[in-house]
Structures are given as structure tokens and as C-alpha cells.
Amino acid sequence: MKLIDLKPGKSVEMSDIHAYKSDVNNGRYIYILAGVHGDEVESIYVLKELLANAELWEKINRPTIVVPIVNVDGYRIGTRTNSHGVDLNRNLPASSWSHVITEPQYHPGLTPLSEPENQFLVSLFQKYPPGIAISLHSWRPILNYNGDCIEVAHFLAERNQYPIAPSIGYATPGSLGDYLPEKYSAPVLTYELPRIGHLRTLRDVWDENKLALTDLLTSDLLNKYCLL
């Protein structure tokens, strides 16, 4: 399978948001995302390593969309939010969206889908309907499943020993985990990686998760999510 560079989206500051699509087109798509929060560099590094593994993608034959860095402006300046100060994982047009700003880092935007980064994501969902999304984040190790993908969480946990949870532990109105199950009946696996710090490097985070992710992508487990 080859990944094709799609026409990029644009961020608040008109930076390119790159997305890649498989040359396999039938069915629903497996989405793999990183960098929704610009300061979660671990997620971006891990997906970059996955993308660089040419042999891995040659073994995969299913509809796939990869967005390596959703929040390109935030990544460049090291912030969770985009250049409008909006948390992109609180800005999607789920019925749970709320205008209430509980903390500055969770600013949901003035209206749902106000941000160009999410407008680009939603345009991808509309053109290439999602079957499941694996959204890489970094906070503390946890495999949070929304919708019918607990078996994916267990598959990963058998390899990285991360805890599994149906909730991240607090409300996330306007999040991808709320939006995709509601709009597309597509589950979301929010894959929280550990943060780098004392005695833990980006390479350590990758090494800790390489087997889990490569085994998942080359297994048959995701095939059912591609069915229309």
C-alpha cells in the first residue's frame, strides 16, 4: 500500500496541514492522527516514526488516512491550543460541545467548528468516511476507548501494558471521542502516551510502543472497521 499526499489544509496562520491517504479506496477509512495538541510532541514523534517505516506500509492493504500534525501552529510554538487559543479537541461539532470555558487550555472556541484545523479534519471525514480513529496524544499512559473498540485497546495493552479506560477521567465536550461515534458511528481510541522527562526520551516512548502499533496495523483486527 502507498500513502498519497493529499491537498493540505490550512491552519490559522495559513501553514499547511498535511494528510496522507492510502491508494486503497474501498470502504471506511482507518484514521491515525497526532498533534491535536501542539505541545504533545510525543504523539507527533511516534507517528513520524510509523510513517518512516516503509516496510510497514507495504504490509497494509486497507483504506487509511494519516494526519501527522493536526495543530501545526501549536506545534511550532509549543502550545496545546492553536493560534486562536482554542483547544481543537473541544471544538468539534458534537452535541456535547459547550461554550463554557472551564480552564483556558480547554477553550472550546466561539462556536463549534470555528477553527480551520478542524474544518479541514471534518472535510476529510466527509470525503473519506471514518470507520475508526486512533488519535495519539500524550499525558500519562492510558488507552481510552469511545465506542465499540475495546478489543483494539486490549490488543494494544497486551503489548505495552497500558491501562484501559472507557473515560479519560473528566468530561471532554466537543472532542473527537464524542464527535465520531455520534456522527459516523465510528469509535475512537485515544492513545495517551507518556510524557518525556527524567530518564525518558522520545526514542524511549517510541520503543515502548513500536510493537503495539506495528502489530495492530499489520493485524486483521482493524479490517472490520473498514466495512461500509
The domain segmentation of the chain, as residue ranges, is: 8-220
pTM, full prediction: 0.97
Report the alpha-carbon distance of residue 203 to residue 19 in Å, rounded.
24
What distance in Å separates the CA atoms of residue 74 and residue 81, rounded to the nearest whole number?
6
Pair 35, 76: CB distance under 8 Å = no
Q: What is the pLDDT along the chain (228 residues), one digit of tens a residue?
A: 999 999 999 999 999 999 999 999 989 999 999 999 999 999 999 999 999 999 999 999 999 999 999 999 999 999 999 999 999 999 999 999 999 999 999 999 999 999 999 999 999 999 999 999 999 999 999 999 999 999 999 999 999 999 999 999 999 999 999 999 999 999 999 999 999 998 899 999 999 999 999 999 999 999 999 997
Task: Provide the pairing of β-strand 188-194 with 142-146.
Answer: antiparallel
Identify the DSSP state of 56. H
The amino acid occupying position 80 is R
- Written out in words, the top-level CATH class of the domain with range 8-220 is alpha beta
pLDDT of residue 228: 74
Q: Do the Cβ atoms of 162 and 143 come closer than 8 Å?
A: yes
